[in-house]
Amino acid sequence: MTRDLLWRGMLAGILAALLATLFARAFAEPQIDLAIGVEQSHAAHHMSGPAPAAEPEEELVSRSTQKGAGLLTAMALYGAAVGGIFALVFAYGYGRFGAAGPRSLALLMAGLVFLLVVVVPAIKYPQTPPAVGKHETVGLRTAAYFAMIVLSLGAAVIAGKVRAVLAARSGRGFDATLLAVGSYCAIVGLGQFLLPTVDEVPADFPATLLWNFRVASIGTQFLLWATIGIAFGLWAETVLKRQGASPAR
């Protein structure tokens, strides 16, 4: 059963990546082009003067390739990877955490991943166009962002264990859930306070452009995980019904 779920999860991830690529191509990539134009105009302004202007560096990969085949390839590989991991986690969790059906569990998992991996880290480190930011801080920004993701997932695991212990001791699931959510928020809040603050958006960068890019980025991720949750849930339900599996194992 796990093998059947695995390849269906990868297929759902690839389908989700295709839809997310189309969305990003229509809404996110135009904002990137505008941000690159702003950066180039600033560079041209700073380079104007008595000193001769340096020749522009040759692009290793053209923007047309980045927006087309490059974007599709990267998203397809990412979708297949996260779809496979999603399927393995689903196979492990189905029947162990309540009596939710496959479609409900898949949607719940997709929603949690979107919240924990996309929304919460974006509160501390919101998405910025590739043209924004200093080249010498790329390593720091990348490490800090992934640290925020690990912190969010770790806090969620701790919160889940807190809820399980409190619910078992008191028998009051609602109160245990509230305390678990509070513990998650406390851990994430402390981590966000301790992690370095990175704000390299120029003061004269267009606010509307930055807002539109961030909305498009969140929308791309939302479409990706919503598609994985819906498509994988449908296919997983077919597999589980055929094999006679039930959540009350």
pLDDT in tens, the chain (249 residues): 788 999 999 999 999 999 999 999 999 989 888 888 887 776 665 555 554 444 545 555 666 667 667 788 889 999 999 999 999 999 998 887 667 889 999 999 999 999 999 999 999 999 988 777 777 888 888 999 999 999 999 999 999 999 999 988 887 889 999 999 999 999 999 999 999 988 888 888 899 999 999 999 999 999 999 999 999 999 999 998 887 655 544
Residues 124 and 82 in one domain: yes
Closest listed residue to residue 129, CA positions, set 208, 231, 54:
208
Give domain status of residue 207, yes or no: no
* 98 found inside a domain: yes
140 alpha-carbon distance from chain centroid: 19
Q: Quote the CA–CA distance of 90 and 236 in Å, as a whole number.
A: 9
Q: Are residues 148 and 169 in the same domain?
A: yes
DSSP code, position 52: P
- For residues 179 and 240, state if they share a domain: no
What is residue 52's predicted lDDT score, i.e. its pLDDT? 47
237 and 121 within one domain: yes
Helix axes 102-113, 71-93, angle to 10 degrees: 130
Q: Could you tell me if 184 and 147 lie in one domain?
A: yes
Instruction: Decide if 58 is inside a domain.
Output: no
Q: Say yes or no: 176 and 74 in one domain.
A: no
Q: Can you tell me which residue has the tokens 């796990």?
A: 2
The answer to the question of residue 111 being in a domain is: yes
Q: What is the pLDDT of residue 218?
A: 96
In a domain, 208, yes or no: no
Same domain, 84 and 124: yes
Residue 15: predicted pLDDT = 97
Number of residues assigned to the chain: 249
Q: Which domain holds residue 150?
A: 133-200
Predicted pLDDT at 45: 59
As a whole number of angstroms, the distance between CA 122 and CA 143 comes to 14
Helix runs in the chain, H state only: 2-23, 29-47, 63-65, 71-93, 102-113, 120-124, 138-170, 173-194, 207-243
Same domain, 190 and 79: no
Residues 106 and 28 in one domain: yes
In a domain, 46, yes or no: no
In a domain, 140, yes or no: yes
Domain edge (last residue) among 200, 222, 240:
200
pLDDT for 226 equals 97
Q: What is the pLDDT of residue 53?
A: 47
pLDDT of residue 170: 80
- Domains in the chain: how many in total? 2
**In a shared domain, residues 150 and 247:** no
Considering the domain architecture, whether residues 158 and 244 belong to the same structural domain is answered as no
Same domain flag for 9 and 76: yes
Indicate whether 76 belongs to any domain.
yes
